[in-house]
Amino acid sequence: MSQPAPRRWWALSLIALAQFAVIMDTSIIGVALPEMREVLGFTQENLSWVFNAYVVVFGGLLLLGGRLSDLFGARRVFGLGWAVLAAGSFVAGFAGNVATELIGRGVQGVGAALIAPSALTLLMMLFGHDPKELTKAFAFYGAAAPAGGTAGVFLGGLITEYASWPWVFYINIPLALLVLILLPLWLPGGKLASGGSIDVLGALTATLGLGAAVFAVVRAPEVGWGHLATWGLLLGAAVLLALFVLIQAKKKSPLMPLAIFRARNLGSANLAQVLLGGAWVPMWFFLNLYLQQVLGYTAFPSGAALLPMTGLIMVGMIAIAPKLLAVFGPKTMIVSGMILLAGGLVWLSFIRPDGTYAADVLPASLLSALGMALAFIPSLSTAISAARPEEGGLASGIVNTGYQIGSALGLAVVTAVSAAYGAGELGNKEALTDGFSVAFIAAAIIAAAGAVLTLATFRKTKTTV
């Protein structure tokens, strides 16, 4: 057994920063969206692509990022990911039109897909020698996710209000420079793999298939659900995703060995993560729009208004969910959390054009946040622990991919449905409220479906915390 790295706890701060940053980049743009729409020329319907361009690429390339980390060394891929993230952030902040903005967000997604799996590999390299240290390291790493979400909401409002929206992207550049300077000092280099191949075709078919599906759903309200272009894109997406599965079944070194899904409850836990993302992200997206476009909040008050919700998620994930999980087990926790999330979303659907934050937003958002926190940790831990120890990294990549893609597809579907009920009628508070209300109902249906499917597919097992 090799000696533990002397600077491993300092190195953990860089690894946690990675988790913080990739989650922050999904939330920091929320309160900046209305200003970006006006400056760059987005429509209300395609505004969701500022989020989707990042998460589709991020989720679609996560498995490839993990494979590259195995082949070329986690530290090399980690550093490369930060460099790519910084480049994408510069492009996204400097963008003067919709196309350039989406290219920048896509490049950010590539960087995040390289950072996330290599960060987990580095954590295992640094702390795998001691189970007690590994548990502490995972807790610190896990807490960075809700911290990133909370900071993103707050910083997004602060930056948009008192600087300008491009700085929600530029903030990544000094972070990347800091990591790249400290990287060779604190993180182990690791050894190159002796052999193996990169499943580029698998990565391309997965990413293009998921992107085509999201694009078809987002564009459907404009061209029509019965239009040939809509069904052509959906058919193309289905073919690409089927080809991805076929490639994984035939390839000697696939990105995602299909045999891993034989593990008990891994599939069920991943499905729960997909539907959690599909319900939660639309809620966060449309709540931002309601606060600004209906209640008239500017960027900073809008971001501050969501701090209680994101703060409760952080406390729930770190302090509440693990204790309850030890008592009730994962199945009960996931189902209960999904039901609470669905209840909070239904409550949000009663928003009014002349509503108030205290009555229409705060209590319902807190109930939703509690449900999210209770369901997220048990489904995540089950998905990772269900696999064999040597497949832990792969299981982590799969569940992360599931959540990101569920977020993108859920937001695409909910955006399309809400647009048909007035969510695109800017300046008309009554119509906007009706559309946003329908969005919350649609997200509640996704969460409720998650509860039902978990109840039906999850097999009881011993609790692993």
Q: In this structure, which CATH number among 1.10.287.3510, 3.40.50.150, 1.20.1250.20, 3.30.70.260 belongs to the domain 260-465?
A: 1.20.1250.20
Q: Within a 10 A sphere around the Cβ of 57, how many other Cβ atoms?
A: 25
Question: In the chain, where are the structural domains located?
Answer: 1-185, 200-250, 260-465
Residue 313 has, within 13 A of its CA and on its CB side, a CA count of 24
**Nearest Cα to 168, choosing from 316, 353, 35?**
35
Q: Within a 10 A sphere around the Cβ of 175, how many other Cβ atoms?
A: 18
Three-point CA angle 426, 428, 431, nearest 5°: 100
Is 260-465 the same fold as 1-185? yes
**pLDDT tens, per residue, the chain with 465 residues:** 456 666 788 888 888 888 788 778 777 887 788 888 888 888 766 787 887 788 778 877 877 887 787 778 888 889 999 999 999 999 999 998 989 999 999 999 999 889 887 887 787 778 766 767 766 776 677 667 666 766 777 788 788 778 888 998 999 999 999 999 988 888 766 555 545 567 778 878 887 887 788 778 777 777 777 888 889 999 999 999 999 989 888 887 777 777 777 777 888 888 999 999 899 988 988 998 899 889 998 877 887 888 888 788 878 887 888 888 888 988 999 999 999 999 999 999 999 999 999 999 999 999 999 999 899 888 877 877 776 655 655 676 677 778 877 887 888 889 888 988 988 787 899 999 999 999 999 999 999 999 999 999 988 665 444
Q: In this structure, which CATH number among 1.20.1250.20, 3.30.420.140, 1.10.274.10, 2.170.120.40 belongs to the domain 1-185?
A: 1.20.1250.20
Are the CB atoms for 91 and 54 separated by under 8 Å? no
User: How does 341-364 read in b/e, with b if 16+ C-beta sit within 10 Å?
Assistant: bbbbbbbbbebeeebeeeebbeeb
DSSP 29: T
Residue 144: both structure tokens together: 């960075």
